[in-house]
Amino acid sequence: MSSNSQAFQAIKGTYDILPADAPTVLAVREAFAAPLRRAGYGYIETPVFEDINLFSRGVGESTDIVTKEMFAFTTLGGERIALRPEGTASVLRATLEANLHRVGNLPVKLWYSGSQYRYEKPQKGRYRQFWQVGAEAIGAEDPALDAELIILADDAYRSLGLRNFRILLNSLGDRECRPVYRAALQDFLRGLDLDEDTRRRAEINPLRVLDDKRPDVQAQLVGAPMLVDYLCEGCKAYHEQVRELLTAAGVAFEDDPKLVRGLDYYTRTTFEFVHDGLGSQSAVGGGGRYDGLSEMIGGPALPSVGWALGVDRTVLALEAEGITLDAPATTDVFAVPLGEQARRVLFGTVTQLRREGVSADIVYGGKGIKAAMKAADRSGARWAIVAGDRDLAEGNVQLKDLSTGDQTPVALDVLVTTLKEKLQ
Binding flag, residue 126, ligand AMP (CB under 6 A): yes
Cβ closest to ligand AMP, residue 86 vs residue 361: 86
Q: Residue 289 in contact with residue 305, Cβ under 8 Å? A: yes
Cβ closest to ligand AMP, residue 303 vs residue 306: 306
Binding flag, residue 283, ligand AMP (CB under 6 A): yes
Q: Residues 114, 206, 285, 292: which binds ligand AMP (CB under 6 A)?
A: 285
Instruction: Please tell me whether 261 is known to bind a ligand.
Output: yes
Instruction: Please tell me whether 87 is known to bind a ligand.
Output: yes
Q: Can you say whether the dihedral through the CA atoms of 236, 134, 321, 125 is positive or negative? A: negative
Work out whether strand 267-275 and strand 254-255 pair parallel, antiparallel, or are unpaired.
Answer: unpaired
Instruction: Please tell me whether 200 is known to bind a ligand.
Output: no
Closest approach of Cβ 160 to ligand AMP, in Å?
14
Binding flag, residue 312, ligand AMP (CB under 6 A): yes
- Which x/- pattern over 167-206 shows residues binding ligand AMP (rule: CB under 6 A)? ----------------------------------------
- How many Cβ atoms from other residues are within 10 Å of residue 21's Cβ? 12
Size of the site for ligand AMP (CB under 6 A): 17
Binding flag, residue 305, ligand AMP (CB under 6 A): no
User: Using CA atoms, how far apart are residues 316 and 391, in angstroms rounded to an integer?
Assistant: 51
- Measure Cα distances from 249 to 37, 142, 281, 290, 375 in Å: 19, 16, 28, 23, 52
Q: Residues 210, 308, 350, 385: which binds ligand AMP (CB under 6 A)?
A: 308
Q: Residue 155 in contact with residue 249, Cβ under 8 Å? A: no
- Which x/- pattern over 245-264 shows residues binding ligand AMP (rule: CB under 6 A)? -----------------x--
Closest approach of Cβ 325 to ligand AMP, in Å?
18
Per CB under 6 A, the segment of 31-39, 281-289, 317-325, 369-377 that binds ligand AMP is 281-289
DSSP secondary structure string for all residues of 328-377: PP--SEEEEEESHHHHHHHHHHHHHHHHTT--EEE--S---HHHHHHHHH
Per CB under 6 A, the segment of 4-12, 49-57, 125-133, 389-397 that binds ligand AMP is 125-133
Binding flag, residue 310, ligand AMP (CB under 6 A): yes
Q: Residue 16 in contact with residue 10, Cβ under 8 Å? A: yes
Cβ closest to ligand AMP, residue 165 vs residue 181: 165
Question: DSSP assignment, residue 123?
Answer: B
Of 218, 306, 300, residue with least CA distance to 267: 306
Per CB under 6 A, the segment of 309-317, 335-343, 371-379, 396-404 that binds ligand AMP is 309-317
Closest approach of Cβ 131 to ligand AMP, in Å?
8
Q: State in Å, rounded, how far the first CA of the chain is from the last one.
A: 50
Q: Residue 386 in contact with residue 398, Cβ under 8 Å? A: yes
Task: Name beta bridge partners: 259.
Answer: none
Of 412, 312, 332, residue with least CA distance to 380: 332
Question: What is the residue type of 297?
Answer: I
Alpha helices in 126-170 (DSSP H): 143-159
Cβ closest to ligand AMP, residue 312 vs residue 361: 312
Binding flag, residue 89, ligand AMP (CB under 6 A): no
Closest approach of Cβ 118 to ligand AMP, in Å?
5
Residues within the interface to ligand AMP (CB under 6 A): 86, 118, 120, 125-127, 130, 132, 262, 283-286, 308, 310, 312-313
Binding site residue list for L-histidine: 86-88, 118, 132, 136, 261, 265-266
